[in-house]
């Protein structure tokens, strides 16, 4: 079936010339879709209605390319869509007809150009984001709460001694903001702690020689660094089931948390010494944490300023 599409930019303009050309090309009146809308607008009800009616083997006829495409990108997307749905495309005044060998050649060239254009945009965007992250810029608004404030808010929330409104007022943020920051706690269910680290800094306590973060040393030394010290309120201990360690943006290991809360310890600040297991294997993760949704080797970008967060299980 042959469909025709005509468009003018304003209601004062006439579509008669386009309608006559479409009729001469064999488009029946009931298959003509006439639109009076600016070429810059993305909303085109008549065009959308025509596209919904198209089936494989149908033909779309327009007088000129600019009548159907609001921009180069939009036109290329339409060309790709026609190709994917086996719809022929005919442009009367510019000699494009994909029902002919020469027209199909032009059609495939336009489709390839569309794919190339899309890939260039994606590649440019990804390169720009990577360059910005390398310089410590992640975009968006500044965080409403610093990591220290977030830790304090989490402990206040976990302790159950303050309402959300009281905590929000303390840190001068809205309740919605606080709930979004503490989303892993809303249902009071089990959770995992995600810890972000990098290999560029390896802090060592000058008095005890104890290492923090990524040690690059044996499992015994790394275990000591992995289990201490996290600001976790005692009320949260029974619900913490695992700690996920993300190193340089990649999930490097996942440790389970011992179920016996009597094995937990705290320092004078109230920070916890978490009794964790050896790194879990992929099979152990699947059995022990079936709803975690995080796997070893996953890429998990590190947002600047965020050194840990909770995820619900």
Indicate the pTM of the whole model.
0.48
Query: What's the angle, vertex CA 218, arms to CA 241 and CA 220, rounded to 5?
Result: 50
pLDDT reading at 202 higher than 70: no
User: Which stretches within 163-270 are classed as H helix?
Assistant: 164-171, 175-181, 219-227
- Inter-CA distances, 304 with 129, 152, 228, 237, 274, Å: 13, 19, 22, 27, 25
Reference 174, options 164, 183, 184; nearest CA is 164
End-to-end CA distance of the chain: 53
Q: What is the distance between the alpha carbons of residues 23 and 4, in angstroms, rounded to a whole number?
A: 9
Reference 227, options 275, 262, 192; nearest CA is 275
Q: Residue 262 forms beta bridges with which residues?
A: none
Residue range 24-36, pLDDT digits in tens: 999 999 999 998 8
Residue range 255-289, pLDDT digits in tens: 999 989 889 988 877 788 899 999 999 999 999 99
The residue with greater pLDDT, 214 or 56, is 56
pLDDT reading at 96 higher than 60: yes
Residue range 36-78, pLDDT digits in tens: 887 666 678 898 899 999 999 999 999 988 888 777 777 778 8
Structure tokens at 298: 């996953």
Average pLDDT (172-185) is 69
Q: How confident is the model at residue 312 (pLDDT cuts 50, 70, 90)?
A: confident
Q: What is the pLDDT of residue 153?
A: 80
Q: What φ, ψ does residue 240 adopt, rounded to 5°?
A: -85, 115
Active-site residue identified among 9, 14, 38, 218: 9
- Yes or no: say if 77 and 114 are a contact pair by the CB < 8 Å rule: yes
pLDDT reading at 12 higher than 80: no
Structure tokens at 295: 């796997």
* 9 in catalytic set: yes
Lowest mean pLDDT among 5-9, 146-150, 165-169, 231-235: 146-150
């Amino acid at each position: 079936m042959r469909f025709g599409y005509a468009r003018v930019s304003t209601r004062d303009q006439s579509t008669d010339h386009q309608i006559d050309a479409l009729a001469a090309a064999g488009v029946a009146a009931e298959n003509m879709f006439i639109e009076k809308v600016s070429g810059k607008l993305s909303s085109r009800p008549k065009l959308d209605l025509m596209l919904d009616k198209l089936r494989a083997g149908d033909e779309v006829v327009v007088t000129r390319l600019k009548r159907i495409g609001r921009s180069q990108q939009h036109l290329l997307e339409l060309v790709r869509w026609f190709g994917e749905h086996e719809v022929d495309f005919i442009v009367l005044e510019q000699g494009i007809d994909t029902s002919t060998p020469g027209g199909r050649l032009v059609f495939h060239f336009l489709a390839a150009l569309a794919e190339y254009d899309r890939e260039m945009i994606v590649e440019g965007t990804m390169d720009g984001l990577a360059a910005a992250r390398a310089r410590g810029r992640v975009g968006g608004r500044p965080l409403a709460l610093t990591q220290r404030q977030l830790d304090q808010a989490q402990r206040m929330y976990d302790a159950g001694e303050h309402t959300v409104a009281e905590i929000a007022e303390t840190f001068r943020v809205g309740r919605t903001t606080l709930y979004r920051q503490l989303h892993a706690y809303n249902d009071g269910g089990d959770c995992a702690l995600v810890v972000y680290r990098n290999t560029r800094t390896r802090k060592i306590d000058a008095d005890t020689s104890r290492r923090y973060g990524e040690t690059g040393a044996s499992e015994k030394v790394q275990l000591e660094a992995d289990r201490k010290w996290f600001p976790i309120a005692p009320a949260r201990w029974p619900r913490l089931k695992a700690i996920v360690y993300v190193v340089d943006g990649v999930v490097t290991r996942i440790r389970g948390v011992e179920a016996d809360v009597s094995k937990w310890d705290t320092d004078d600040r109230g920070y916890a010494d978490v009794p964790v297991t050896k790194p879990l294997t992929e099979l152990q993760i699947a059995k022990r944490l079936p709803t975690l949704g995080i796997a070893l080797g996953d890429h998990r970008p590190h947002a600047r300023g965020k050194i840990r967060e909770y995820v619900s299980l």
